[in-house]
Amino acid sequence: MDSKIFNLKAKLEVYKAMTNGGNFADCPVRDVIQGISGKWSSLLVMALAEKPYRFGELRRLVPDISQRMLTQTLYDLQRDGYVHREVFPTKPPSVEYSLTDLGRSMFAPLQMLVQWAELNHDAVRAARAAFDAAQA
């Protein structure tokens, strides 16, 4: 493990950036992270990274999202510049959502996290089970 190098790098670059010089409360990094750390945000970004989807397609793709949260999460993602919304004058009008360049560039590091999750979900589940067993 190169944890020494890792920690040094973390301290010098990341910590300094996120603390905003000792101020955790109004930190721009926090502002950005919170925009994508919602319950559905990352999931929708991951879906749209594959290809553009229409509203109803997304709803069917993610069966346990409420229509209300789908609307709102897409709205928020659009507002932050990750998602582009385009209405086609078909009948009935269809609405297509796609990732912007900013969204695609954000998906790159997000993908790292997803890959980590893919590799380590067994460890997480094991930790969870062990913890629950110890509590009982």
Judged by beta carbon distances under 5 to 8 A according to partner kind, the member of its own copies, DNA, none in contact with residue 108 is: its own copies
94: partner contacted, choices DNA, its own copies, none (Cβ within 5-8 A by kind): DNA
37 part of the interface to DNA, by CB under 7 A: no
Give, in order, the Cα–Cα distances in Å from 134 to each of 3, 60, 128: 29, 39, 10
Which residues are near its own copies by CB under 8 A?
A: 3, 6-7, 10-11, 13-15, 17-18, 24-25, 28-39, 41-43, 46-47, 49-50, 61-64, 78-81, 102, 104-118, 120-121, 123-128, 130-132
The contact pattern for DNA, residues 45-84, with x = CB under 7 A and - = no contact, is ---------xxxx------xxxxxx-xx------------
Site size for DNA, by CB under 7 A? 21
Q: Residue 46 or residue 112: which is nearer to DNA going by CB?
A: 46
Q: Which two tokens stand for residue 100?
A: 């912007």
Q: Name the DSSP letter for residue 11.
A: I
Q: Record the tokens describing residue 24, joined without a space.
A: 């955790």
Note whether 27 binds DNA by CB under 7 A: no
Pairing of strands 83-88, 53-54: unpaired
Estimate the crossing angle of helix 28-36 against helix 41-50, to 10 degrees: 70
Q: Which two tokens stand for residue 83?
A: 């998602």
User: Under 8 Å CB-to-CB from 53, ≥6 apart: which residues?
Assistant: 47, 61, 96, 97, 98
Contact residues for DNA, defined by CB under 7 A: 38-40, 54-57, 64-69, 71-72, 85, 91-95
